[in-house]
């Protein structure tokens, strides 16, 4: 009985804070994989690469802490996408991903920029901008999907955007 209460408490806490809770140590940084980096200034190549990632991962269910096709959370999806498709190893947590790069205005977004949302008092969500107001992410309800920044939920939750090519 005590175990079931403990499991329920852990589940409740993780559900409330979203995918921003994976702890990390040290200052957030980007590690570039040798010979694998995609130039983020090449918008067409970045879009093509991100759509390929979407086609491979679409409908993968959301799972807090997940990093595989069996389930993945938002920051994990961004982490895996940048590592496997763009040659950049980003921190695993939304908290540290939000500290990377330069803050840019919403009207300056281009493919490959990170978009962040406040999804509750402490919850944070991250996705990767595609084009025309759309972004790729792992949604708690739909799994890996493409959503619009102007959809009412995302519009009201929008926090900031970051560009990683410095």
Q: What would the pLDDT profile of 94-103 be if each residue is shown by its tens digit?
A: 999 999 999 9
Q: Could you give the residue numbers annotated as active site?
A: 74, 125, 137
**Residue pLDDT, tens place only, 107-166:** 999 999 999 999 999 999 999 999 999 999 999 999 999 999 999 999 999 999 999 975
pLDDT in tens, 24-70: 567 789 998 988 788 999 999 999 999 999 999 999 999 999 999 99
Domain map (residue ranges) of the chain:
33-163
pLDDT attached to residue 25: 67
pLDDT for residue 9 is more than 70? no
CA distance 129 to 106: 10
Burial-class residue 81 by CB neighbours within 10 Å (0-12, 13-18, 19+): buried
Rounded distance between C-alpha atoms, residue 48 and residue 31, angstroms = 22
Q: What is the largest CA-CA distance in the chain?
A: 56
What is the reported pTM?
Answer: 0.85
What phi and psi, each to the nearest 5 degrees, are found at residue 32?
-95, 130
Q: Over the chain, what is the mean pLDDT?
A: 88
The CATH H-level (homologous superfamily) assignment of domain 33-163 is endopeptidase domain like (from Nostoc punctiforme) (3.90.1720.10)
User: In the prediction, which pLDDT does 7 show?
Assistant: 44
| Rounded (10°) CA dihedral 8, 13, 18, 23 | -110
Contact 93, 79 (CB under 8 A): no
pLDDT for position 27:
78
What DSSP element (H or E) covers 78? helix 74-85
pLDDT at position 24 is 57
């Amino acid at each position: 009985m005590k175990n079931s209460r403990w499991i329920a408490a852990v589940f409740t806490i993780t559900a409330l804070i979203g995918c921003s809770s994976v702890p990390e140590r040290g200052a957030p940084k980007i590690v570039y994989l040798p010979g694998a980096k995609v130039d983020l200034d090449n918008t067409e190549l970045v879009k093509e690469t991100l759509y390929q990632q979407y086609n491979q991962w679409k409908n993968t269910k959301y799972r807090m802490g997940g990093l595989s096709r069996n389930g993945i959370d938002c920051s994990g999806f961004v982490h895996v996408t940048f590592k496997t498709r763009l040659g950049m190893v980003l921190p695993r947590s939304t908290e540290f991903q939000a500290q990377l790069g330069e803050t840019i205005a919403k009207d300056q977004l281009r493919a490959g920029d990170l978009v962040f949302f406040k999804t509750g008092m402490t919850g944070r969500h991250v996705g990767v901008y595609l084009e025309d107001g759309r972004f790729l992410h792992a949604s708690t309800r739909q799994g890996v999907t493409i959503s619009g920044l102007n959809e009412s939920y995302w519009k009201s939750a929008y926090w900031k955007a970051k560009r990683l090519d410095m």
